[in-house]
Amino acid sequence: MIENARGRLQAATACLAALITLTAIFWSSGAPLWIGWRVYSEQVLIVALALAMTVTYLTRPAGPRSLSLLAAFASMAFGVWLAARFPTLSENVFYHPTEALAISILGFLLIVEAVRRTMGWSLIVILASVCIYALFASNFSGPLQSRSIAPDRLLTFLMLDSASLAGAALSIAVAVVVPFLILSQLLLATGGSAFFSDLSLALAGRRRGGAGKISILGSAFFGSVSGSAVSNVASTGAITIPMMKDGGYRPKTAAAIEAAASTGGQLMPPIMGAAAFLLAENLQASYVDVMLAALIPSILYYFSLFVFADLEAGRLNIARVEESRIPALAGVLRKGWFVFAPFVVLLVGLFSFNLRPETAALVAILVLLLLSLVQTYDGRRIRLKVVVEVLISAGRAAVEIILICAIAGMIIGLVARSGLSFGLGFFLVQLGESSLLLLLLVTAAVCIVMGMGLPTVGVYLLLASLAAPPLVELGLKPMAAHLFVLYFGMLSMLTPPVAIAAFVAANLAKAPPMATGWEAVRIGWPAYLIPFFFAAAPALLFDGTGWQIALTAGKALAGVYTVTAAIVGYLSRPLSRAERLALAACGVAVLCPLETFEGAAWLNIAGLLTSILFWAFATRKTAVVKGP
């Protein structure tokens, strides 16, 4: 009897998860326009949110099971009622105060509890802080003083205003992010993960430190699709971490390489995860512009990881992967060529036909689905059952993002409505007028601290409305300011004491979590400095002439290689502490942006020439030691 009830509950949860996916497809495909159905976008978003809340209560019970079931039922009732009544309540809320307040109180409590079960208390504490400010804003002094908002007005604003709950953040989560989640789940179902792993083996397995390079390549490929550092670690790390440990990497280093590579996938074009779509929306820029801006920084980041894996292998004398474990590249490409098709369709749609990201994603899904009817990586044809499982898994993956974007939308809307954005912006602008570098350092620290325990999407949504505008007002390009916030929000995944991606990798490697976190910081060092460099040198974001972009990217690659060699302590031989410090100084001199001060070009040249001489001397000394 209990088993039957459990089975029915699982089936109901699967149906609700699939409905989330179908709702997103329905809206992002423009189906309402085709069938002539006039519907508010907020109505569709509220339905998707209610489904996500219901799935949360059914899959993450807390306390008596009956209370979770009651909350799930109440979530569905809330969604149906508000979706049906939204046009009336949003336009004539003053004529229906009791109904508006009742539905707002119910929805607020249900959403907060669903987020608590999904994410913990981080976002709830931030929302509570902003609500307290809004309620007592008139009691503050100076720039933070504003008009207080009455409690009933506060609740109805949070739940019924289009600039709050069902705003741009939730719209992107449902209409844009979910199609890309479908694409990533369909790639997994057709063998995409195995293909990326085998492709990485074939490309890098025969080189020194091949196991580490395989991990970096596989995580870059898969991370660009999934956009989630933790799921990336859990999926690819289960294969690559044992391989790195067997190859000779220390457990904490193997885990840290996987965590750093998986985290960087969130900024790896062409997909880049949900935050990139939110960034494009905030800047009112095309997704293509965001991809181009993120391209060089992501190349620098992964180049550094490759250099680290290679030099660490040289320092520890780590051999290549055994030949028996390396598949033939031709065979891998012959079996998995179709995996590239959706990416080609996606890029052509974005660049050549100027399609919206969600439309390009849906076309890519259709192409991959048609190809998978003929071929998958394991040789089998995809069945209807697999397609249904993809819809369910995409819906489950969307639950957390939908809830985060809903409550982040409430925070962003209330920050603007209460005047808090003006007060904080005024304070930060005053700070930046004394020193822009100080403001950048404070912003970076706030992003990392607020991001601890939160996914990158939540951190970016919160700080894009608070920290980015003062940076823009003080002269930073909008793209640079928003990418700066996005980068440091991402780094909370690696930075102790709450380094989620590093801790998950440490668990797989059976390594000390905190030591793994600090090792990940050491390995992923470029991500902590690159945002400061592109803030000063927009050419790193493809903003400039061709020669400026080429020169800036070229010297950045040289500087990254030099500093990474100093961090590892190995070039063509082990380096002493004094040599490492000198080499690091040379690398920083090469990295120094030309725009920093007059004469920076001479510093770049001096650093580059010294680095070349250092490398030549180290190589010659190694040859002398080895002898003829």
Q: Which residues contact 56 (CB under 8 A, 6 or more apart)?
A: 114, 117, 118, 399, 403
pLDDT digits (tens, 9 = 90+) for 551-594: 999 999 999 999 999 999 988 788 888 889 999 999 999 998 88
Q: Tell me if 598 is assigned to some domain.
A: yes
CA distance 587 to 394: 44
What is the Cα 42 distance to its own chain's centre?
25
Residue 1 pLDDT greater than 70, yes or no: no
State the amino acid at position 532 in one-letter form: F
pLDDT attached to residue 628: 44
Q: Dig out the tokens for 443 from the structure.
A: 């912003």
The model's pTM is 0.85
Distances in whole angstroms, Cα of residue 58 to Cα of each of 14, 61, 117, 124, 345: 10, 6, 11, 21, 37
How far is it, in rounded angstroms, from Cα 469 to Cα 88? 34
Cα separation, 608 vs 601, in Å, equals 11
Q: Which domain holds residue 619?
A: 544-628
Q: Tokens for 400, please give them.
A: 């957390």
Given a cut of 50, whether residue 624 has pLDDT beyond it is no
Q: Which of 460, 365, 395 is CA-nearest to residue 168?
A: 460
Q: Domain for residue 126, yes or no?
A: no
Q: Which region among 132-146, 180-194, 223-237, 603-617 has the lowest average model confidence (pLDDT)?
A: 223-237
CA–CA separation, 338 and 367 (whole Å): 9
Inside any domain, residue 351? no
Instruction: Return phi, psi of residue 570, to 5°.
Output: -155, 135
Is residue 175 one of the residues assigned to a domain?
no
The answer to whether residue 610 sits within a structural domain is yes
Distance CA 382, CA 389 (A): 11
Is residue 480 situated within a structural domain?
no
For the segment 378-407, the average pLDDT, to the nearest whole number, is 89
Length of the chain: 628
What's the mean per-residue pLDDT of the chain? 86
The sign of the CA dihedral 589, 593, 595, 596 is: negative
Q: In the predicted model, is pLDDT for residue 376 greater than 90?
A: no
The answer to whether residue 119 is domain-embedded is no
Q: Average pLDDT of 459-481?
A: 84
Break the chain down into helix, strand, coil percent, rounded to 5: 80, 0, 20
Report the distance separating Cα 77 and Cα 550, nearest Å. 57
Cβ atoms within 10 Å, residue 513 = 18
Half-sphere exposure of 497 (CA within 13 A, CB side): 0
What the block records as the tokens of 85 is 């009544």
The C-alpha atoms of residue 440 and residue 26 are separated, in whole angstroms, by 42
Asked whether residue 292 is assigned to any structural domain, the reply reads no
Number of domains into which the chain is organized: 1
Q: Which of 451, 471, 470 shows the shortest CA–CA distance to 461? A: 451
Which of 378-393 are b and which e, b meaning 16 or more Cβ less than 10 Å from the residue's Cβ? eeeebeeebeebbbbb
